[in-house]
Copies of this chain bind each other. A is one copy, B any other.
Amino acid sequence: MPDHFDHTVAGAGRDVLAALQAALGDAVLAGEAIPTRNLRDWSSMDAVRPLAVVRPDSTEGVATAMRVCARHGVAVVPQGGLTGLCGGALPIAGAVALSLERLTGIEEIDPAASTITVRAGTPLEAVQQAASDAGFLMPLDLGARGSCAIGGNISTNAGGNRVLRYGMAREMVLGLEVVLPDGTIMTSLNKMLKNNAGYDLRQLFIGSEGTLGIVTRAVLRLFPQPASVSAALCGVASYAGVLALLDAARRELGAQLSAFEVMWPDYWRVVTGMNGVRNPLAGEHAFTVLVETHGSDAAIDPGRFQDWLERQAEAGTVVDAAVAQSIADVQAFWRTRDAAGEFVQVLGVHESFDIGLPVGAIDDFTAACRDALQARLPGVIALFYGHVADGNLHIVSNLPGAATQPKQAIQETVYGTVQQFGGTVSAEHGIGLSKKRWLPYTRNPVELDLMRTIKRALDPAGLLNPGKVF
């Protein structure tokens, strides 16, 4: 742990603990009372024991905790559902972990404005459910939905499976309430799609991984529930064919296009060998593409989707295709993507990547990356798949039979190739702790300086989630 994380000494630690307990009572857990769950997140990083875990159940409680810590010069790590993959919510020794887990609940659904107002600790799935119960769709969705908190989704600008249709978390946030590093509460719970009255302060806190402020409440956009969902798995013979299919989908399926997931053959071979994964396609294809639409007319949409697909087959773009005939089929098709979450069972320990590239460059990147990996680590496995329409590629890689995985060599090779292609080292997972080293591969010195300028301006004492991001 670098020195600058060590914001407390034993004396200051005792003082701040007493002050927190005086102000917040049993919201403060220390010593043996600190729950195991607060010691780590879903990254593979080692658990860290914080000075205390504070779990306020109100914005005022969060502000009080932050104010007390600021007065004592003790750092604070905000925690939501602890499902982050890069260590952004990992505790810091000597710092306070401020968990939003008790700041939960839906405050309001406004049907005319089409908004939902939520407290930051509410699990994503509970927000989705409340929206659904009111006849709306809260479109943000990702695998961790049952555990992740909406405040964490906002703080990390979560993406997920339907960014193409609905945008990332950033696009869904209309208003925010944030506790600043000195404990000031900034309430900016705007409900309007348009508000150009001064700087758009929301943007500072979305995706900055809890380093500039702690999100306590949010107003989110709601959408109508889709009246129809159509999906197909398509075999395509070349990347030029993938791009032609994407162009046709954008033009002819229009705004209904909700997913365009591409799987490379090595990936497809592994995933279709897994338990519970069906391969509805005959033969082997250079690319397998999952196309999905969210429509608003159940009578028209399925036929229209089928016609579109037939045109792609007639044009030779699609070599083979399976169309979902039911919601069960749609789910089965998605299983070919979601099963990636269980790769550890078939591949063992491996490195996972979440990178971004200009769409046109992705296949050249995969070839260059595969070559570079093989040259450095002969026999290495590298599986490619991703939300290609968003420019977002995932890679899973390991060296079969290695006593210890060559983690460093794999990372250097992949991120080095990302840098050559002008891509990003993090499309949706953020930087946290584990990707800090690679941030300069994707952001230039001027960008990094400006990030530091913003950090210093909002958090001059460096108390909020220090050492994360940069």
- Supposing A171-B171, A198-B448 touch, asked if A427 and B192 sit within 8 A by C-beta, the answer is yes
State the Cβ distance, A404 to closest chain B Cβ, in Å. Answer: 28
Residue A238 at the chain B interface, CB threshold 8 Å: no
Contact of A296 (CB < 8 Å), options: B255, B389, B428, B451: B255
Docked complex Cα distance between A105 and B444 (Å): 25
- B196 contacts A428, CB within 8 Å? yes
B residues in contact with A200, CB < 8 Å: 157, 170, 203, 206-207
Residue A437 at the chain B interface, CB threshold 8 Å: no
Residue A18 at the chain B interface, CB threshold 8 Å: no
Interface string of A375-390 (1 = CB under 8 A from B): 0000000000001011
- B453 contacts A457, CB within 8 Å? yes
- B297 contacts A252, CB within 8 Å? yes
- B193 contacts A163, CB within 8 Å? yes
B residues in contact with A456, CB < 8 Å: 457
Contact of A359 (CB < 8 Å), options: B114, B255, B300: B114
State the Cβ distance, A303 to closest chain B Cβ, in Å. Answer: 9
Docked complex Cα distance between A195 and B428 (Å): 6
State the Cβ distance, A203 to closest chain B Cβ, in Å. Answer: 3
A406-452 interface (Cβ within 8 A of B):
423-431, 435, 439, 442-444, 446-448, 450-451
- B358 contacts A191, CB within 8 Å? yes
- B201 contacts A207, CB within 8 Å? no
Docked complex Cα distance between A300 and B302 (Å): 13
Which of A3-11, A243-251, A281-289 lies on the face that meets chain B? A243-251
- B112 contacts A431, CB within 8 Å? no
Residue A152 at the chain B interface, CB threshold 8 Å: no
A239 nearest CB neighbor, chain B only: B112
B residues in contact with A157, CB < 8 Å: 196, 200
- A390 contacts B423, CB within 8 Å? no
- B255 contacts A201, CB within 8 Å? no
- B198 contacts A443, CB within 8 Å? yes
State the Cβ distance, A184 to closest chain B Cβ, in Å. Answer: 6
Known: A163-B193, A186-B447. 14 other contacts (CB 8 A): A113-B358, A113-B391, A168-B193, A192-B358, A193-B390, A194-B428, A196-B430, A197-B431, A201-B447, A226-B254, A227-B254, A252-B296, A255-B296, A297-B304
- A-side residues, CB < 8 A to B, are 110-115, 156-157, 159, 163-165, 167-168, 170-171, 180, 184-188, 190-201, 203-204, 206-208, 223-227, 243, 246-247, 250-256, 294-297, 300, 304, 356-360, 387, 389-392, 423-431, 435, 439, 442-444, 446-448, 450-451, 453-454, 456-458, 469-470
23 cross-chain CB contacts under 8 A: A110-B360, A111-B247, A113-B359, A191-B391, A192-B392, A192-B424, A193-B389, A194-B390, A194-B392, A195-B424, A196-B207, A196-B430, A197-B424, A197-B431, A198-B431, A198-B439, A198-B447, A198-B470, A200-B207, A223-B250, A254-B295, A254-B297, A456-B457
